[in-house]
Amino acid sequence: MKDLSPRTEIATLGEFGLIDRLTHGITPRHDTTILGIGDDAAAIRHSADRLTLVTTDLLLEGVHFDLTYTPLKHLGYKTAVVNFSDIYAMNGRPTQLLVALGLSKRFAVEDIEAIYDGIRHACDVYGVDLVGGDTSASLTGLTLSATCIGDVPSDRIVRRDGAHDTDLICVSGDLGAAYMGLQLLEREKRVFRGESDFAPDFAGREYLLERQLRPEARRDIIDSLTEADLLPTAMIDISDGLASELLHIATRSHVGCRIYEDRLPIDYQTAVMAEEFNMNLATAALNGGDDHELLFTLPLSVYDRAERLPGVRIIGHITRPEQGCILVGRDGGEVPLQAQGWQGR
């Protein structure tokens, strides 16, 4: 008998609405579960003064990567690094990694070795042990799933829900480069389809490609915060775009925020590429995603030390919740921040 009950399209909820719906009412059963769903990583107590961090990511061919222009070794490296970034976003250190692969028949042993070369290289760079995983046949292409385990002192863990009114909003690195690298790769792919003898034009845009194909996790920022004796009140990894991630912090912390367009850190290559694509630069910086920078808040009282952090820009401040989440434009005009993460396909 046909089921005539109403069905909800995933796109009507979006990524964040879907997560909220699926996880509503889930509560930990064990005292050792310190932090469950809703942050960059779960936190589990394994001793009186330390917590184990656990995070997982899924990468699907055709959704998260395109093998037309993604080298398999780079894909392996990126798979590991995006997991490491989630651990750093909790102010922790990644220690172990497990990787599972779903493989279709078109992949040879050498292809899988290339993926693992990238994974192993990332583990070497970041001092992480590759400790296991799984492989399975796939009918739909290549799937990679990675789970990272990390460690943090229990009094140093940073969550998304600790931001307070007047806190400084800080971001590492620069924004929008990974997204513009993706736009460049997609453009050259479209041109390639129409030419038999084709050489892609990437000259002078190497930084954008590196940000998209081979990102790095910001271990150096965690080191700098530790050396400066600074503990963020809230922190998150920027994978879905600055606007989405800042709204996560605001929602979980029950606060508002104001950020300033002229304070957004943007690389020169990103600006040139956005102009070439006739694309709004602020939109690329706010919503592009895949930057894997760290967005965090610090008390106003440490402004001088925060301003001296290498590779970090103060872009705004936290406000009371009734003031909303606002982007202040270069002309002084104000517009509400809107999340534009994954919305389904």
**Contact assessment for residue 228 and residue 305, using Cβ atoms and an 8 Å cutoff:** yes
DSSP-assigned states of every residue in 70-100: --HHHHHHHHHHHHHHHHHTTT-EEEEEEEE
Please tell me the predicted confidence (pLDDT) of residue 25. Answer: 63
The pLDDT of residue 195 is 57
According to the model, what pLDDT value does residue 188 have? 83
206-213 vs 268-276: helix crossing angle, rounded to 10 = 100
Q: pTM of the prediction? A: 0.90
The amino acid at 328: V
Tokens of 92: 């922790």
pLDDT in tens, the chain (345 residues): 556 667 877 677 666 666 677 666 667 776 767 777 776 788 888 888 999 999 999 999 988 999 999 999 999 999 999 999 999 999 999 999 999 999 999 999 999 999 999 999 999 999 999 999 999 988 888 999 999 999 999 999 999 999 999 999 999 999 999 999 999 999 888 776 655 555 666 778 999 999 999 999 999 999 999 999 999 999 999 999 999 999 999 999 999 999 999 999 999 999 999 999 999 999 999 998 899 999 999 999 999 999 999 999 999 999 999 999 999 999 999 999 987 654 433
Stated as kind and residue range, the H or E segment containing 184 is helix 177-193
pLDDT for the residue numbered 46? 81
pLDDT score of 58: 92
Q: C-alpha 187: how far from its chain's center? A: 23
The SS3 of residue 168 is strand
